[in-house]
């Protein structure tokens, strides 16, 4: 399997379908009502009202028959479940970390790690923020500092490793605040907020050397590291003949520990863990998990969940699985590129990201272009996507102002092993149809804003502008305002 081969469609699924879940089709009127009732926030839609659900790849994967069989082997003992040991074996074999603390999902692990490692006043550098990761750093008294390469903030840059850490930015921070105020660097694979962009092994090796010299641990956000390993094999010189598991192991060996949301790479619907090599750190995490999650041999998961995850690890490192998974994302991305739709380049791991700023250049960022576009896509064809822009970025805790991120994106996130190529065609057609009528689309006003992680629960109403209704709470008016030719 090489890049050339992959380009030519060899991403066909390495599985066949044994069970199906029926979907409900809706009319445009039904969708207009549903999105209005959801406050124009796709998180607040009912799943039943969605045709193709690309909200997230988190916990939405289809499990294999082996994983379902694994559920039946759940050992639901309160303590010392056999499934915990199976999971520990799999984490040791494929990730290589010595110690494992299971948690109910990724943020559970982030919570433990932030509480243990961060002291108030500390600075936590990272290759771009992730919503829950940064919030737990802040709740523990730390301040997140972005040290990703500049290219990551430019949707059109085709740098092959936009997830790389800028060592210059990291060094500037360390010089300014002192290494003793940097408890660790948080390193994410296939950086979600940058468009699913990988880091390179060369960059990690340099980072490792720098961190050794300054005594700063590297804590991996391992959520999509297996997908990152796939990109290293495709793009980095010297890795074409290595297996995904070999590359994964090499990544982990250059880091000190990880938090994991198993709901992504690991093909399960729920679960996560913290893992590390340092015994003292492990003992603290093992002690804290009983306060917030559950006993240290289940951490908030049922025994059967741990078994499904252990099997999921074995399946996730399979070459043909990753080629099909990422191949499908690239199939959708290339269709959109061919139609001239502005998307983040290069196409990333788990999603295609629409560049809402270029898509809706006439919509002011404080009228939430990405949020608006996500609502329009739902109305167009029942496709649920997610805003990753001004709403997700939230407010600066110091100034209280919207952060106005450079990236104002709509994420079309592909669940693993769930949708078909025909579904991807429907998605592409819907995006193209919305693009054709983009000039009739106005923005949204935020009318309810929760304090934490506002994107999950915020509510909006259409912003009334002179250029047209831009709204969907008045379908009559909207019909008048949709004269764009095909």
Is 264 designated active site? yes
In this complex, which beta carbon is closest to ligand PLP, that of residue 260 or of residue 381?
260
Is 455 designated active site? yes
Task: Decide: helix, strand or coil at residue 312.
Answer: helix
Distance of alpha carbon 226 from alpha carbon 408, whole angstroms: 26
Binding map of ligand PLP across residues 289-318, x = CB under 6 A, - = no contact: ------------------------------
Quick one: residue 96, left, alpha or beta (phi over 0 = left, psi -120 to 50 = alpha)?
Answer: left
Among residues 221, 256, 305, 355, the one annotated as catalytic is: 221
DSSP string, 392-442: HH-B-TTT-SB---S--EEEEEPPTT---HHHHHHHHHHHHHHHHTGGG--
Among residues 51, 130, 144, 460, the one annotated as catalytic is: 130
Residue whose beta carbon is closest to ligand PLP: 106
Minimal distance in Å, beta carbon 58 to ligand PLP? 5
Stretch that binds ligand PLP, among 5-13, 127-135, 328-336, 402-410 (CB under 6 A): 127-135
One of 42, 86, 164, 223 touching ligand PLP (CB under 6 A)? 223
Among residues 26, 42, 131, 259, the one annotated as catalytic is: 131
Q: What is the dihedral of CA 37, 39, 45, 50, to 10 degrees?
A: 80
Considering only residues 191 through 220, tell me which ones interact with ligand PLP, judged by CB under 6 A. 192
In degrees and rounded to multiples of 5, residue 84 shows phi and psi of -60, -45
Six token digits for residue 274 = 């913290």
Binding map of ligand PLP across residues 51-80, x = CB under 6 A, - = no contact: -------x----------------------
Binding-site residue total for ligand PLP (CB under 6 A)?
A: 15
Considering only residues 83 through 112, tell me which ones interact with ligand PLP, judged by CB under 6 A. 105-107
Q: Is 401 exposed, middle or buried (0-12, 13-18, 19+ CB in 10 A)?
A: exposed
Residue 130 binds ligand PLP, judged by CB under 6 A: yes
One of 122, 151, 188, 387 touching ligand PLP (CB under 6 A)? 188
Stretch that binds ligand PLP, among 37-45, 260-268, 372-380, 474-482 (CB under 6 A): 260-268
One of 49, 221, 315, 387 touching ligand PLP (CB under 6 A)? 221
Among residues 264, 304, 325, 454, the one annotated as catalytic is: 264
Is 78 designated active site? yes
The DSSP letter of residue 465 is B
Six token digits for residue 261 = 């949301």
Residue the block writes with tokens 């919207």: 402
Stretch that binds ligand PLP, among 126-134, 146-154, 177-185, 245-253 (CB under 6 A): 126-134
- Other CB atoms within 10 Å distance of the CB of residue 119: 11
- Contact between 355 and 342 (Cβ < 8 Å): yes
Report the candidate in 134, 235, 246 with the shortest Cα–Cα distance to residue 190.
235
Among residues 129, 298, 378, 455, the one annotated as catalytic is: 455
Residue the block writes with tokens 């969940």: 305
- Contact between 167 and 210 (Cβ < 8 Å): yes
Distance of alpha carbon 173 from alpha carbon 372, whole angstroms: 36
Stretch that binds ligand PLP, among 69-77, 117-125, 258-266, 394-402 (CB under 6 A): 258-266
In this complex, which beta carbon is closest to ligand PLP, that of residue 255 or of residue 471?
255
Among residues 134, 388, 416, 478, the one annotated as catalytic is: 388
Is 82 designated active site? no
Task: Decide: helix, strand or coil at residue 148.
Answer: strand
Is 353 designated active site? no
Residues 6 or more apart in contact with residue 377 via CB below 8 angstroms:
383, 384, 385, 410, 430, 431, 434
Is 36 designated active site? no
- Contact between 123 and 142 (Cβ < 8 Å): yes
Is 331 designated active site? no
In Å, how far from its chain's centre is CA 238?
A: 28
In this complex, which beta carbon is closest to ligand PLP, that of residue 86 or of residue 192?
192
In degrees and rounded to multiples of 5, residue 386 shows phi and psi of -135, 140
Report the candidate in 285, 304, 306, 305 with the shortest Cα–Cα distance to residue 296.
285
Minimal distance in Å, beta carbon 110 to ligand PLP? 6
Stretch that binds ligand PLP, among 129-137, 196-204, 391-399, 430-438 (CB under 6 A): 129-137
One of 132, 197, 385, 469 touching ligand PLP (CB under 6 A)? 132
The residues annotated as belonging to the active site are 78, 130-131, 221, 264, 388, 455
Residues of this chain that bind ligand PLP (CB under 6 A): 58, 105-107, 130, 132-133, 188, 192, 221, 223, 261, 263-264, 272
């Amino acid at each position: 399997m090489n890049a050339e081969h992959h380009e030519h469609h060899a991403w066909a699924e390495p599985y066949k379908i044994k069970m199906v879940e029926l979907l409900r089709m809706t009319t445009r009127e039904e969708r207009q009502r549903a999105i209005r009732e959801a406050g124009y926030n796709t998180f607040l839609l009912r799943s039943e009202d969605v045709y193709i659900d690309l909200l997230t790849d988190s916990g939405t994967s289809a499990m294999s028959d082996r994983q379902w069989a694994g559920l039946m082997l759940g050992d639901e003992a309160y303590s010392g479940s056999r499934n915990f040991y199976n999971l520990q074996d799999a984490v040791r074999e494929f990730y290589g970390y010595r110690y494992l603390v299971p948690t109910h999902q990724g943020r559970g692990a982030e919570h433990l790690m932030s509480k243990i490692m961060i002291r108030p006043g500390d600075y936590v550098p990272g290759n771009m923020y992730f919503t829950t990761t940064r919030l737990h750093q802040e709740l523990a008294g730390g301040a997140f500092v972005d040290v990703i390469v500049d290219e990551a903030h430019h949707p059109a840059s085709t740098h092959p490793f936009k997830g790389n850490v800028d060592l210059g930015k990291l060094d500037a921070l360390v010089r300014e605040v002192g290494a003793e105020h940097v408890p660790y660097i948080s390193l994410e694979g296939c950086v979600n907020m940058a468009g699913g962009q990988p880091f390179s092994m060369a960059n990690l090796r340099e980072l490792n050397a720098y961190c050794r010299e300054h005594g700063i641990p590297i804590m991996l956000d391992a959520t999509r590291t297996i997908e990152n390993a796939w990109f290293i094999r495709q793009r980095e010189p010297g890795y074409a003949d290595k297996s995904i598991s070999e590359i994964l192991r090499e990544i982990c060996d250059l880091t000190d520990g990880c938090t994991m949301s198993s709901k992504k790479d690991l093909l399960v619907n729920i679960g996560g863990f913290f893992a590390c090599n340092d015994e003292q750190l492990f003992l603290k995490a093992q002690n804290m998990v009983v306060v917030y999650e559950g006993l240290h041999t289940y951490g908030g998961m049922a025994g059967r969940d741990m078994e499904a995850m252990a099997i999921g690890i074995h399946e996730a490192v399979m070459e043909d699985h990753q080629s099909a998974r990422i191949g499908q994302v690239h199939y959708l991305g290339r269709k959109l590129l061919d139609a001239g739709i502005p998307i983040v380049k290069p196409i990333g791991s788990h999603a295609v990201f629409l560049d809402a700023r270029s898509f809706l250049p006439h919509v002011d960022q404080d009228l939430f272009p990405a949020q608006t576009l996500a609502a329009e896509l739902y109305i167009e064809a029942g496709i649920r996507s997610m805003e990753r822009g001004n709403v997700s970025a939230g407010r600066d805790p110091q100034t209280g102002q919207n952060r106005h991120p450079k990236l104002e994106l709509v994420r079309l996130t592909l669940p693993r092993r769930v949708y078909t190529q025909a579904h991807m065609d429907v998605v592409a057609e819907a995006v193209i149809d919305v693009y054709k009528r983009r000039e009739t689309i106005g923005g949204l006003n935020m009318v309810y804003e929760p304090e934490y992680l506002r994107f999950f629960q915020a509510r909006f109403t259409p912003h009334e502008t002179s250029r047209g209704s831009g709204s969907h709470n008045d379908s009559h008016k909207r019909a008048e305002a949709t004269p764009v030719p095909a």
